[in-house]
Amino acid sequence: TTKCDKDILDTYNKVTEEYFANSSSLYSLGYQVKELIDTATNNIADLFSVKPNEIVYTSSATEANNMAIKGIIFYKNRDKRIITSSKIHSSIKETLKYMGTLGYDIYVLKNDSTGRIDLEDLKNNIESSCLVTIPLVSSEVGILENIEKSNSRCFLHIDATQAVGKISFSINDIDMLSLSAHKLFGIKNSGLLIKKEKVNLIPLIHGGMSTTIYRSGTADQASIACMAKTLRKSLENIDEKYEYVKNLKEDLIKFFSNYENILLNSLEHTSPYILNLSFLGIKIESFIHKMEEEEIYLSTKSACSNDKSLSDEVFSLFKDEDRAKTSF
């Protein structure tokens, strides 16, 4: 989670103060708010080369993930099988666990030798499924998946929370994409689901018409304006920022490679923005609190994951409990 950019915070305050009306109202103040929202939405659509009606505003990437999964599954009579990865965020993991209680079959893909999803395994299982839901970049280890879209009628949902603003990628083959502003110096409680026009969903929240038919409720024009500015700023000079962070990560890996009890968990095909290490033989929480004294802040797992000591993501890749218990 990043500190909110002052410029974005100023925009939030300005819009909240000056554009306070309901965008669905018929009087002039409402029209002004609707115009502001439409401008922001058009700007976001241009950034991703999608249509404005393919933008659905949410309170978070967690809500966007829930909307994508439940919305697809509950729409009419679709296949009752969902394909996923062993490296998913808890907002997908817990949603799929709930879908399992309703009789849906959840298939977890194998990993190949690099830790990415096994594309052969995906090809062998995709025809009997209605949805593939995976992260483009995994939260803890930072594995960057190689996305290939087949001609299957199965939909592809990508959790891009750790990728947008950090990794250059194409959205052409992606049916739905989730993201969150608070990873990008934006405000909290501000997320987005890009849903291609051909994709039909059942809404999570029913009510009147808002910015789309897919999520009811009075539109939050301040968050929407800030989302547009957040995404524009995060996508500026993305390749230059990528190279800068990549060099930092390479320096860290070189430094830590001098210690035999330190294992590198972020191998090839990983985002430079995430480095996962295991410090064998130490109490990881004590180490993290010691680093806080130096104003260096580390995580043992994704902040939203459950409180057990073992990292599911590291264990899924290396099948080593000691490694998974001492990772950060």
- DSSP-derived letter for residue 159 is E
Q: What is the C-alpha separation between 169 and 156, in angstroms, rounded?
A: 15
> What are the start-end ranges of the E strands in the chain?
55-58, 81-84, 105-108, 131-135, 155-159, 176-180, 191-195, 262-264, 277-279
Type and span of the H or E element at 92: helix 90-101
> What are the start-end ranges of the E strands in 224-268?
262-264
Q: What is the C-alpha separation between 159 and 179, in angstroms, rounded?
A: 7
226 is catalytic: no
DSSP-derived 3-state class of residue 146? coil
3-state percent helix, strand, coil for the chain, nearest multiple of 5? 40, 15, 45
Of 10, 11, 131, the C-alpha closest to 78 is: 131
Q: Which residues are annotated as catalytic?
A: 304
